[in-house]
Each structure stands twice: as C-alpha cells, then as structure tokens.
Amino acid sequence: MSEIKSFAKTLIIWQGQAGRTGLPWQGQKDPYRVWLSEIMLQQTQVQTVCERYRIFLERYPHLASLAQASEEDVMALWAGLGYYTRARNLLRCAQQIQQKYGGEFPQDALTLATLPGIGKSTAAAIAAFCFLERTSILDANVKRLFARLYGISEPLNLTKTNQQLWGIAQRALPASKTDMPQYTQGLMDFGATVCKPSKPRCLEPSQISHCIFQTHCQAYRQGQVDVIPYKVKKLQSPIVLSEMLLCIAQGKVLLEKRLSSGIWGGLWSLPETSWQRVDQFKEGQRAKSSFEDFQHILPNQLETVFKQGQLFAPRKHLFTHRTLYFSVRVLQLKKLLPKLPTQYVWQPISGIDQLGLPTPVKQLLIDLVI
Ligand code: SF4
C-alpha cells in the first residue's frame, strides 16, 4: 500500500485555512488543560464540553487544585457529562501526578499512557500539543480517516487492523516536531468536519471535490465510503427495569450514595430495586417491586404507606449498552426514617440540584419535588 505523498503538509495547510477555530482548548500548551479537554471530549459532544470545560477550570484552575478536591465535589461537577469513570480517573490521575511527578506532567506519551484514564491516543495528544513529541493520536475520527484513505475494509476493533492503523498514523507524521501541534489539530478537525462518520464532504452532492484527499482516497475511488469503516452489527441492547423510591419528609428527600464502582458509581441517587432484565418488553411495563425490596430502610409499620405510595409512569434512560425503564413510587412521610444504613442521607430539597446526581434522577427530582 503506497503512502499518500505530503499528507502531513497538505493537512497542516488545510488546518490553517479551514480548521476549526474558537474552541477554548485550541492552541493550549498547558498539559493540564489539554488533558482535561481530551478526557471531556471522549464520548461527549464538543458543544457540551465547551461550557463544562470553562466551569471545571473556574473551579479547578490547575492540577494542584484538582488533586486536593474530594471525589464527591468532582463527581458533582461532572454530573450530566456521563461516563463517570472518567471523573474518578481524572481525580486519581491528578493525585498521582502530584505525588509521583511533583505536580508536573510527564513529557512523553509512553509515560503519560501509564496514568489512570489516559489511553494511548490521549497520551499522544498531550505529548504532541505540549511537548512536541512526534507521536500520533488515533481516536475514532482518525481511525476512520485512515481506514478510508487506505481502503481498509476490516472491522477497526480487530487487533490486526488496529496495529495496521497505528503504523499508518505513525508514518504519516510531519518530519518536523514543531509542526506537531497544528498537524494533530488538523487530524482532529478533519475527522470532525470533513471525513465525518455519515455524510462526509466527498458525498455531499453540492460539494465538488471538497476533500483535499479525494484523488488519493481509496474508499472514494472504489465507491466504498459508505461501507468503511466496516460497521459491526450492533446487538439490540438489553432492557432493564427498576423502581425507585422517593421518600419525602420535613422538606427533605432520602438519597443513597451509590458504590463508587458500577453504573452511576459515587453519585447520589434514590433507593431502588435491583435492575431486572426483561426479554420481551411491553410499553408501560414497570419493575416488579415489593415492600421487602426496601425493608432495609423502611420499618415494618410503613408497609401500608408503601403499598399506597403514588406510582408514576416509567421513564426511559439510554445507556450505551442497555436501556433502563425506571418507575418511581412516592412516599410522603410524617417523620424522617430512623436507623438508616450509612449510605442513606436525608438531603434538604433546596440544595438537591447542587449534588452529583445521575441526569435522569436529577430530572425526575426537578419534575416531582424541586
Ligand atoms: Fe474522507 Fe471522502 Fe475525503 Fe476520503 S474523500 S478522506 S472518505 S472525505
């Protein structure tokens, strides 16, 4: 397979003329800011990240301030961005850099990739932008670009295909390390705005030759743009049901701190039944629940109150690998519940929206009590 001549040079010129502008992390040399933007941009849209990046930096303007933060505060600030493991790793990584490297980021991609939450591509982005290392990023956008340019029709998740793409990406680098920031930015911009997952520029009817690589691109030449990257057929995501319990008493709501591992780990949520998987889902179906599911928090004399609790229609929440339908049972209680396990806390309704809550639970509380 022949290399595309002057790929790096062409991309750098394109970036200067047509790349994205105005993103708050662009042109950054500060590894803390580059790292933060890279982590936030994983699985979250650019528009959402722009606002949240600014807020995060106001609260934690440098690594030392983040390293001293509590997990609870970081989780609260991260709420709504999803994929909460990123937030926990962000904190662990800041603490490790503080303790092991005296608060300074390591300057090479290999060492950076040993830190919590920093994968090979993120490490390369930090090393290239901040320390001018000649090393390539290879996120989903860049994989797609190289797969199309080189007509690679095998699934991208195969180890063999991945190694092939890393090789291509490394050989495509500019000769001079001073070009690394603009080249890396060019790769990101090109994948996000030209060689997009659907409707890449070359397939837009109104655009005549608006991709700078059109004459070299194997996928384009072979009419394979629609099928590269090869899409692995997704299995239908499993459906799970749950019932949450919303106990309200004396202007407070009973919340549970979830374990730090697992879905919504470390966030505040409502007590709920276990998640019940269903094979045949019918619209409106709700989780099976009984008083026993909540007996660890509800005393026996509340069984009748529980059974008479107001039931609300199930709400839907999509995760990447499953769909949750959660219903809610509301109990208006006269007194706060006594002798609760330590992970349960009565929170005043007035400050509840400041806590780290999963987005659908927060919305539910906004709709029903706040
Ligand atoms: Fe992507 Fe199309 Fe350009 Fe090929 S020709 S690199 S598929 S935009």
| 146-170 per-position pLDDT tens digit | 999 999 999 998 999 999 999 999 9
Contact 361, 269 (CB under 8 A): yes
Task: With cut-offs at 50, 70 and 90, classify the pLDDT of residue 229.
Answer: very high
pLDDT digits (tens, 9 = 90+) for 128-145: 999 999 999 999 999 999
Q: Could you tell me the fold of the domain covering 137-171+194-233?
A: Endonuclease Iii, domain 2 (1.10.1670)
- When the pLDDT of each residue in the chain is averaged and rounded to a whole number, the result is 93
Contacts for 141 with CB less than 8 Å, ≥ 6 apart: 187, 188, 190, 191, 192, 195
Q: Which residues are within 8 A (CB) of 44 and not within 5 positions of it... i.e. 6 or more apart?
A: 52, 81, 82, 83
Measured CA to CA, the distance from residue 11 to residue 189 in angstroms comes to 10
Burial class (CB within 10 angstroms; exposed 0-12, middle 13-18, buried 19+) of 127: buried
Residue nearest to ligand 1 atom 1, measured at CA: 195
Q: Partners of 255 in the beta sheet?
A: 345
Is 142's C-beta closer than 6 angstroms to any atom of ligand 1? Answer: no
CA distance 146 to 152: 8
Q: What is the pLDDT of residues 31-89, one digit of tens each?
A: 999 999 999 999 888 999 999 999 999 999 999 999 999 998 998 899 888 888 899 99
CA of 195 to the centre of ligand 1 (A): 5
Q: How far is the CA of 202 from the centre of ligand 1 (A)?
A: 6
Residue 194 in contact with ligand 1 by CB distance below 6 A: yes
Which parts of the chain are beta strand (E)? 239-249, 252-257, 268-269, 276-278, 310-318, 323-332, 344-348
pLDDT confidence bin for 288, thresholds 50/70/90: very high
Q: Which of 14, 150, 194 to mutate to test the pocket of ligand 1 (most atoms within 8 A of CB)?
A: 194
Domain positions in the chain: 1-134, 137-171+194-233, 239-368
Given a cut of 70, whether residue 302 has pLDDT beyond it is yes
Is the CB of 147 within 6 Å of ligand 1? no
Of 14, 142, 149, 222, best ligand 1 pocket probe by most atoms within 8 Å of the beta carbon: 149
3-state class (DSSP) for residue 100: helix
Going by C-alpha positions, the residue among 240, 238, 249, 256 that lies closest to residue 361 is: 256
Q: How far apart are CA 62 and CA 73, in angstroms?
A: 15
98 CA distance to ligand 1 centroid (A)? 43
Q: Which atom of ligand 1 is nearest the CA belonging to 225?
A: 7
Mean pLDDT, rounded, for 271-299: 94
User: What confidence score (pLDDT) does residue 2 get?
Assistant: 56
Asked whether residue 1 carries a pLDDT value surpassing 50, the answer given is no
Where are the strands (E) in 186-260, listed by range? 239-249, 252-257
Q: Please give the pLDDT value at position 68.
A: 97
Nearest protein CA to atom 5 of ligand 1, as residue: 214
pTM here is: 0.76
CATH class of 239-368: alpha beta
Mean pLDDT over residues 300-326, rounded? 93
Among residues 186, 86, 192, the alpha carbon closest in space to that of 136 is found at 186
Longest Cα–Cα distance of the chain, Å, equals 78
CA distance 243 to 247: 13
Ligand 1 centroid–CA 217 distance in Å is 6
Nearest Cα residue to 63 out of 28, 101, 22, 26: 101
CA distance 212 to 133: 26
Identified catalytic residue from 38, 243, 256, 272? 38
Instruction: Identify whether 303 is a catalytic site residue.
Output: no
- What does the pLDDT read at residue 207? 54
* Nearest-angstrom CA–CA distance, 235 and 77: 33
CATH top-level class of 1-134? mainly alpha
What tens digit of pLDDT does each residue of 330-364 get? Answer: 999 999 998 899 999 999 999 888 899 999 999 99
267 lines ligand 1 (CB under 6 A): no
Q: Report how far residue 238's alpha carbon sits from residue 236's, in angstroms, rounded to the nearest whole number.
A: 6
Task: State in Å: Cα 172 to ligand 1 middle.
Answer: 16
